[in-house]
Amino acid sequence: MKKTLYFLMGGTLIYYPSQLKSQKLNPEKKNVKDIESIQIQGKSDYNSVNISRKKLDIIQSNTLGETLRKIPGIQNSGYGPNSGAPVIRSLSGNRVKILENGVSVNDLSGISPDFNTDIEMNSVQNITIYKNSASVLYGGKAIGGAIDVETDYVARQLPDQKINFRGLLEGGSNSGQKQAFSAKGIIAKNWVWTVGAANQKQEIVRIPGKSKDSRCYDPSLVGFNSILQSLCQVEVDSRHVLNKSLFPYISQFAIDHMIEYELSEGDLYTFSPTYYNPSDGKHYPNPKNQLYVSGQDPVKGRYRDEINNIRDYVQTKDGVIPNSHSESNSFYVGTSYVEKSFYAGGAYQNSYSYFGVPGYALPKMPQHSHGKPQPKIDYLPINIRSLSHKAMFESAYQFTGFPISSIKLNYMGVFSKNAELIDLQRANQFEVNQHNGRLEIVQQKWKFLSGTTGLEIQYRNMTGDGKQRYLPNNISREIGIFTMQHLDFKSIQLDLGYRNDHIQRRADADNKYVRSRGLSGGQLNDRDFILHQLHTSAQWNIFKKAYLKAQYNHSERAPEVNELYAGNNHFAILTEENGDDRLDKETARTIELGAGINLKNIRVSANWYHTFYKNYIYLAHTGISREVFLVKEWRSDDTEINGIEAEAAYKFNLNKIGKWEIGGYYDLVRNISVADSSIRKWSDGDYMPNMPTSRFGFNLEGNIQNFSINIALDHYLKQKYLGKNINPELPMPAFSLLNVRVSYKDNSLGIGNLEYYIMGNNLLNSEARLQNSQLKFLSPLPGINISAGVKITI
């Protein structure tokens, strides 16, 4: 009860629900709402959350997952300090679609979580988040939600000045240094140019203690748990020895004749109280064993394992995350033609990144020694290198006096090379050529009816290289047609949407592709899927002060290429990954209920959701380990996901000492197996492992003259809903994160303004390990960081 009261009195909303972006021709004309004007409103479309550029300036993170982690229901995948993707209500990867201006980006993080989403955060203008299924709008890969990032590469309206400029310089004690700028201006009448660049570099990430969890060195836990040994990347030196405490007596005969008869230690200990002396034919008492412990099983307890030593694959250094270096840079240029009711523009963007993963692998698998001395095994760090080129085109036209209100066309072509390296040696590389097209037609509002209809086409060709690649060459084709209709009866609002998708997956294993000994994609058969998506919702607006909402989604997802065709050692996830080309499509049925109230100074909202998944696809343990890799297979079973999210905010005016808002949030999610599967219960347990924990947080933000202050405290609870990794999953300890940002705006520049700021992250210097991170035993979150910077806007 106390937690509920604290929560209702605190909290801040860092977002507000937005309407479908497809219904707006010029998104830049939206009013960006600050903390004084944010309102909780239920919208009768998808549950959407919007983060403005102003809020992004406060968050200032390098990865998309870290940027969105404070929103209830969303957490960061935390794949080391340099890679992070959004986790929405325990779902991520191939179930959360990442978009840029409404079209899919080259997001390989669903196939390999060590790759970052191809988004340059300094170029982002705002982000729209769909926390429930957005499959009607964006297809099956949005079965668990979608993230639509709006960038300013293509100008959609004429700037208010001949030249607009924004720049950033920042340095941190534990975040490296970064520089960024963007500019746009008028070339000639109706023509706009845009240009921008960003650079970031960091040598090492510091932490308060050891990089590995202390339980990695606990003999009672890690000693004979091969799964945990692999997750911790440790080698255990052990031996199988006789359990001397099992035997109540020591054989006097063995003592007397040990050397003569070449007897062993196994002959020395006995259950017999006497021994027979053949020289005189009599029995004599055996001495008692001082090590004897009664009550042991004489069969199962005869031998025990003894730990001699636990050692790391590679010696770690206290106070730092190993192999945590990172560097990235990007550049873009674009141009647009803009009129009152029409615009068309194109842009080119180039980005490069190179960073380390806090794990190690072997450049070559050791061969059987056939009794000869085993050569020294050298583990080398895993690194990621990506180079991406993007070509973008966007156009829209606004009609007057016509049944169609507007029409919009988007295209993005992505051409990238994505390599996983063992030190500097290329283990595998995938070249991705991806083309995405999206057409949206918005109809004129007729009485109570409005809506959007569209067509989306995607083609992706992945070709692999490298002796240790885990996927064959593959091609995916997707085409979908959708409509979303909105009925507005003032206090009652209804929505109905439908989408039909046709998906093709093709694999081509060339002669250079070497498959593992496991399932490894079966026969690599061609697969075709037809998907049906349905969205319905109803909302009752109560005197413009509150709302009640109910929503139902039927969503389907086709398996991705890694789930169908993977078949080799995947170094980045330290796993031999085995796809199954027989997998069927996923089907999810979601019910969500929500309510909110918005009074003069107080806002409160809450949501409850329940999803039933048929054929939920997951990467399951087989219990087998080969060389240094766990062997896993993609399988499917039925699953239920349910949870709650709630938040509240209270704002107040203290006159001379500023306007303030205090708030808080709480969220909980459970991912439960409901399949009657003995294999799943044995390998993964009743709950899915590596799930986000429940958490709550508080936030205080305000303005005093030219100063802005933001204080945030987030507390992650110890996980109660644990799965298995063959052995029971270990919970990470609870932890709290305290972040503070103070900024000062200087308007004396005349032609613009300067903002000076200082930020402190993880000021408590907590050892924080995310339960949902696959690398939680190897790497905590970064330790305390103090950074300072300046922004210039002209």
Flag whether pLDDT at 13 surpasses 80.
no
Supply the DSSP string of 311-323, one letter for each residue: EESS---TTEETT
Amino acid at 205: V
pLDDT given at position 359: 87
pLDDT given at position 461: 96
Q: Count H helices, E strands: the chain?
A: 10, 41
The whole-number average pLDDT for the span 530-540 is: 97
Least confident of 236-245, 437-446, 683-692: 236-245
**CB under 8 Å to 364, separation ≥6 — which residues?**
none
d(CA 741, CA 735) in angstroms, rounded, equals 20
Query: What is the pLDDT confidence band of residue 375, given thresholds at 50, 70 and 90?
Result: low
pLDDT given at position 53: 85
pLDDT tens column, 127-186? 999 999 999 999 999 999 999 999 989 999 998 888 899 999 999 999 999 999 999 999
| Alpha-helical segments (H) within 418-532 | none
pLDDT given at position 751: 77
pLDDT given at position 46: 55
Query: What is the pLDDT confidence band of residue 358, given thresholds at 50, 70 and 90?
Result: very high
Tokens of 537: 């919702």
Tokens of 667: 């969220």
Q: How far is CA 122 from CA 51, 179, 489, in A?
A: 14, 9, 41
Can you tell me whether residue 682 is helix, strand or coil?
helix
Least confident of 24-33, 274-283, 558-567, 725-734: 24-33
Place of tokens 């600050």: 34
The whole-number average pLDDT for the span 308-326 is: 92
pLDDT given at position 376: 67
pLDDT given at position 349: 95
Can you tell me whether residue 792 is helix, strand or coil?
strand
DSSP state of 120: -
Distance of alpha carbon 64 from the chain centroid: 9
Spatial contact of 603 and 576, defined as CB atoms under 8 Å apart = no
Tokens of 99: 């978009």
Residues in the chain: 794
Tokens of 431: 């070249």
Burial class (CB in 10 A: 0-12, 13-18, 19+), 287: exposed
Distance of alpha carbon 17 from the chain centroid: 23
Residue 10 phi/psi, 5-degree rounding, is -120, 180
Give the mean pLDDT of the chain: 87
Burial class (CB in 10 A: 0-12, 13-18, 19+), 495: buried
pLDDT tens column, 743-772? 999 888 777 889 999 999 999 999 999 999
Flag whether pLDDT at 502 surpasses 60.
yes
For the sheet with 124-130, list strands across it: 48-51, 124-130, 146-151, 97-100, 103-104
Neighbours of 523 (CB within 10 A): 8
In CATH terms, the superfamily for domain 19-158 is TonB-dependent receptor, plug domain (2.170.130.10)
Neighbours of 143 (CB within 10 A): 31
pLDDT given at position 509: 81
Flag whether pLDDT at 546 surpasses 50.
yes
Closest CA to 178 of 787, 792, 793: 787
Can you tell me whether residue 180 is helix, strand or coil?
strand
Domain with CATH 2.170.130.10 in the chain: 19-158
DSSP state of 616: E
**CB under 8 Å to 381, separation ≥6 — which residues?**
314, 322, 323, 356, 357, 359, 360, 422, 423
Neighbours of 600 (CB within 10 A): 7
Query: How many CA atoms lie within 13 Å of 34's alpha carbon, on the beta-carbon side?
Result: 10
d(CA 745, CA 792) in angstroms, rounded, equals 10
pLDDT tens column, 23-50? 344 433 333 333 222 222 333 345 688 8
d(CA 163, CA 205) in angstroms, rounded, equals 38
DSSP state of 730: P
Query: How many CA atoms lie within 13 Å of 325's alpha carbon, on the beta-carbon side?
Result: 10
Spatial contact of 598 and 484, defined as CB atoms under 8 Å apart = no
The β-bridge relationship of strands 234-242 and 303-312 is: antiparallel
d(CA 263, CA 467) in angstroms, rounded, equals 52
Closest CA to 330 of 351, 353, 302: 351
pLDDT tens column, 591-649? 999 999 999 899 999 999 999 999 999 998 887 877 667 889 999 999 999 999 999 99
d(CA 60, CA 418) in angstroms, rounded, equals 25
d(CA 147, CA 56) in angstroms, rounded, equals 14
Flag whether pLDDT at 3 surpasses 50.
no
pLDDT given at position 43: 37
Strand partners, 103: 100
The β-bridge relationship of strands 575-578 and 629-653 is: parallel
**CB under 8 Å to 231, separation ≥6 — which residues?**
574, 725, 777, 778
d(CA 13, CA 218) in angstroms, rounded, equals 42
pLDDT given at position 238: 80
Query: Which has the higher per-residue pLDDT, 88 or 5?
Result: 88
Supply the DSSP string of 387-423, one letter for each residue: EEEEEEEEEEEE-SSSSEEEEEEEEEEEEEEEEEEET
Flag whether pLDDT at 306 surpasses 90.
no
pLDDT given at position 22: 38
The whole-number average pLDDT for the span 404-416 is: 95
| Torsional class of 447: left (φ above 0), alpha (ψ -120 to 50), beta (otherwise) | left
Flag whether pLDDT at 12 surpasses 70.
no
